[in-house]
Amino acid sequence: MEFDTITTAEGDLGIRFLGHSSLIFFWAGKTIHVDPVSGEADYTKLPKAELILITHEHYDHLDLKAVDIIRTAETKIVGNGEVGQQIPGTIVLKNGDTRMVDGLKIEAVPAYNLQHMSTPGNPFHPKGIGNGYIVTFGDLRLYIAGDTENIPEMRRLRNIDIAFLPMNLPYTMTPEMVADAARMFRPKILYPYHQGETDTAKLLALMKDEKDIDVRIRTMK
């Protein structure tokens, strides 16, 4: 598992890359898990969570077994309405909601498909259900996009320091879509994630002239 450390005005943010969309953030003595899924890591060997962020209810993002392993009586769980139906006590956020949770500002933003459909007229991720999250760590704004395409709402994102953008077909974005999304709001650091078998070199080639965006490729296993 690769590990990055990002310096902020209020201490270091640690990022551990597990697999697919499963991540861990370490901040101010807290452990924050994102979309924990048993197939991506042995959660019995990972630290318990003070906070769990779940973008939506699909099996590769919401795994009740993994959640049960890392949660304690004090763990707070943030998710969309469908997550709340499966995990009692979830702090339910819908698109547009903002909440302070354990001292962290969490903004829920839209995550959905415009082009990729399971059947005609039925997108893999319909608008208004799944969340992306913007989490503020000190002076750093970090965007976890969830399962989405390069949607128009991304043009309204401001001051994003780090972005995790999904890049795999048919469910999320092509490298071209990720590059377009990044150009909309220009994060300082871009991590493609949820990339499946996508060739990450294509994204690097597309972004080679965007000198102000640091594209970082990490092994998500």
**pLDDT tens sequence across 186-217:** 999 999 998 878 889 999 999 999 999 999 99
CA distances from 110 to 62, 115, 175, 202 (A): 18, 15, 20, 26
pLDDT at 170: 84
Residue 26 maps to a domain: yes
- Residue 3, judged by CB atoms within 10 A of its CB (0-12, 13-18, 19+), counts as exposed
Helix/strand/coil for 78: strand
pLDDT at 117: 74
- Cα 33 from chain centroid (whole Å): 10
pLDDT at 198: 86
* Domain ranges, residue 167: 2-215
Does residue 24 contact residue 15 with C-beta atoms inside 8 Å?
yes
Q: Which residues contact 62 (CB under 8 A, 6 or more apart)?
A: 35, 54, 56, 79, 83, 86
Of residues 61 and 90, more confidently modeled: 90
Residue 68 maps to a domain: yes
pLDDT band at 119 (very low <50, low <70, confident <90, very high): confident
- Residues 66-108 have pLDDT tens digits of 999 999 999 999 999 999 999 999 999 999 999 999 999 999 9
Residue 220 maps to a domain: no
Residue the block writes with tokens 């819908």:
94
pLDDT at 180: 97
pLDDT at 196: 77
The total domain count for the chain is 1
Residue 221 maps to a domain: no
- Residues 8-57 have pLDDT tens digits of 999 999 999 999 999 999 999 999 999 999 999 999 999 999 999 999 99
Give me the CATH number covering residue 156.
Answer: 3.60.15.10
Is 60 exceeded by the pLDDT of residue 221? no
Average pLDDT value for residue range 146-170: 95
Average pLDDT value for residue range 117-132: 89
Residue 17 maps to a domain: yes
Is 90 exceeded by the pLDDT of residue 58? no
Q: Of 161, 197, 196, which is closest to residue 20 (Cα–Cα)?
A: 196
Residue 111 maps to a domain: yes
